[in-house]
Structure 1
Amino acid sequence: MYKETTIEAYLCFFKNEPHWDFPLETVTGRLGVTPTNLEKIGDWANQKRQYVTTEWRYSTGLIETWDFEMVIGKIVDTFRDKVEVINELKRELGIETALRVVTHVVNEDSPSYVIPIDVMKFAISIDNFIDIDQYIYVFLDEETDS
């Protein structure tokens, strides 16, 4: 369980269609960025479950902060000069991108969700949506827990 509020942002390449696959090494090579996570359709996620889609992901990892703008800015800073390459990959491989942010809110310490103009411009330049997920962990005060 999380002790402090954390935020993770990531950019992923994927296709939400059954049996759709694409070469992950092509994305890595063309972007010149090492992914933080790869999922290949048919590979085993664990002993009981296989991946049903292929996904290339670059993530900030979980960062203990309330600074939403800083975390999402890390992704944009990494990919800002790769807009043409991203759009070419999307066209050539028939894939999509998503800019996602996941917040784990602890003890009602939620960040404010401000999307800076440069982040919006980046998302628009790659025809992308921004998805924000929020998970809230509520803890009872020890005095009221009795």
Structure 2
Amino acid sequence: MINWRRLFGEAKRPSLGIEGDFPPEMTQRARRPRRSKGMTAEERAAEEQRYIEERRRIASVTSASNRQRAIEAGITRYRWSSCLDNRTCERCRRNEGKIFSHLNAPKGGHPGEGDCPDGACRCVAIAVIDF
């Protein structure tokens, strides 16, 4: 394994120079609820619900930001890409591989905006570039 600290010292993480372009909500991660022995079942359920809501919010902000950047770059269409595992919801399975417009949301929203059972849509929009 490469020891990056030995090679580069205590340098900061590499910067892409675009960090200031992102809203603060996008740079935060959802925190999994802690399993505390003193919590009641209702408190654990409320913490899990808060975590799911936070994941949905972050996924939605990320999706909207990516869509806006694509539109600004002149990319108007995308191909839906899903994980296709046992957690993939029916809506995402139906949309897998189909081409949609960034300007007209499909039923249920763009990738990353759906109410998938695990708390946040894990699908992504892959740009379709017309030459």
TM-score (norm 1): 0.22
In terms of fraction of residues, the more helix-rich structure is: 2
In terms of fraction of residues, the more strand-rich structure is: 1
Bigger Rg over Cα: 2
